[in-house]
Amino acid sequence: MSGAATAAGPPRVLAAVLNFNGKPHLQALLPTLAAQDYPRLSLLVVDNASTDGSLAWVRAAHPEVAVLPRARNDGYAALNDAIDEARRQDAEFVFLMTNDLRLDPRCVSHAVRAMRDDARLGIVGFHMLGAVRWVDPAALDEASARWDGLRVEDRGWVEGAAMFCRRRVFDVLGGIDPVYFVYAEEDDLQYRARAAGFRVAGVNTPVWHNAGRNVLAETPARSAYLQMRNLIRYRAKNHGMWMGLKTAARVAVNACGPRDTADRTVPFEARLRPFGPARNAPLVARAIGWNLLHLPQTLAARGRDLSRVRQARRQLAAPR
């Protein structure tokens, strides 16, 4: 069965939820995912070796949701398995999301409508409530009630927690880079997509996000290290070695300088300066050391991605 729209119906969509020990999150998200008003929607939970009974609960409470258990926790890149599943199902679109969301019932249908109107639209995000600061979940119902018509606007970046993708993006550019782990994966993917000629845009359909209250919030030192490490790698990989070096210097000054200018209500800023300078210094040293050790692999990945981007640009420019 083809994922493209036919006389039999609209294009197929695979919605994939990434989970790691997030049973309470799934209990809130899955009913809103099952309530989507889109007719050709397959549901999948990709589980990163949870130990909290998440998958048993999904199988019992939501038998309509397929589960894909994994032997280890590979972070966001585990959703590459969902992309492979989308290919097996011949789904034209893949809705990638984390487990700490609640959705307006029109999210999928609105994203498909936006994608169908523009073949160059590769990635769509949503109006995410709680993207920066936590808000009450009741804000979703209020925002849904106020919704007054679909609007699509170009964005430089959309939140990876709810990222609706044209499968062709992955077919021509490759999947999610597994090296990052947790932070910067969506930044990397969207950078490559824009460089290849795809649009990245947002729709005004609301989604609620449990910002800063997930499993990673329980391990602030590890979260800070991963964000520092991945930010440096992202800049080096996508903008060159000189930008990577400048970013490493900025990370060090931000974390270890005498003045704390971070906005503690913004998780991104808080993770870049989680503690005082003395406690931050080993995290910075470890993040920079990791990048120096892995610099040959980073530069090799940069070369591979640039080659794919050039090839993708040629494909997108060719008449269809």
183: its two tokens: 């932070």
Task: For residues 235 and 233, give the distance between their C-alpha atoms in angstroms, rounded to a whole number.
Answer: 5
Report how far apart, in Å, the C-alpha atoms of 268 and of each of 248, 263, 301 are: 16, 9, 25
Q: Which long-range CB contacts under 8 A does 41-44 form with residues at least 24 apart? A: 41/12, 41/13, 41/14, 41/15, 41/108, 42/12, 42/13, 42/14, 42/15, 42/66, 42/89, 42/91, 43/15, 43/17, 44/14, 44/15, 44/16, 44/17, 44/68, 44/82, 44/85
Distance of CA 180 to the CA centre of its chain: 12
According to DSSP, residue 153 is labeled E
Q: Would you call 175 helix, strand, or coil by DSSP?
A: coil
CA torsion through residues 66, 70, 73, 78, sign: negative
- Per the CB < 8 A criterion, the answer to whether 237 and 179 are in contact is no
- At 267 the pLDDT is 78
First CA to last CA across the chain, in angstroms?
Answer: 22
Is a pLDDT exceeding 60 seen at residue 209? yes
CA neighbor of 165 nearest in space, from 93, 244, 58, 258: 93
Alpha helices in the chain (DSSP H): 23-34, 54-61, 80-89, 107-117, 138-146, 167-173, 185-196, 220-239, 241-256, 267-272, 277-293, 295-317
- At 4 the pLDDT is 54
Domain 13-215 belongs to what topology?
Spore Coat Polysaccharide Biosynthesis Protein SpsA; Chain A (3.90.550)
**pLDDT tens string 85-101:** 999 999 999 999 999 99
46: its two tokens: 């990709």
- At 218 the pLDDT is 63
Residue 171's pLDDT band (cuts 50, 70, 90):
very high
Is a pLDDT exceeding 70 seen at residue 213? no
At residue 236's C-alpha, the angle toward residues 233 and 239, to 5°, is 135
**pLDDT tens string 139-161:** 999 999 999 999 999 998 999 99
- At 7 the pLDDT is 46
Tokens 């894909």 correspond to: 68
248: its two tokens: 């490493």
**pLDDT tens string 51-74:** 999 999 999 999 999 999 999 999
**pLDDT tens string 287-296:** 999 999 999 9
Task: For residues 210 and 28, give the distance between their C-alpha atoms in angstroms, rounded to a whole number.
Answer: 11
Mean local confidence (pLDDT), 229-250: 96
**pLDDT tens string 260-299:** 887 777 778 888 889 999 999 999 999 999 999 999 999 9
- Residue 263, exposed/middle/buried by CB under 10 A (0-12, 13-18, 19+)? exposed
Q: Tell me the backbone φ, ψ of residue 98, rounded to 5 degrees.
A: -85, 175
Global pTM value: 0.92
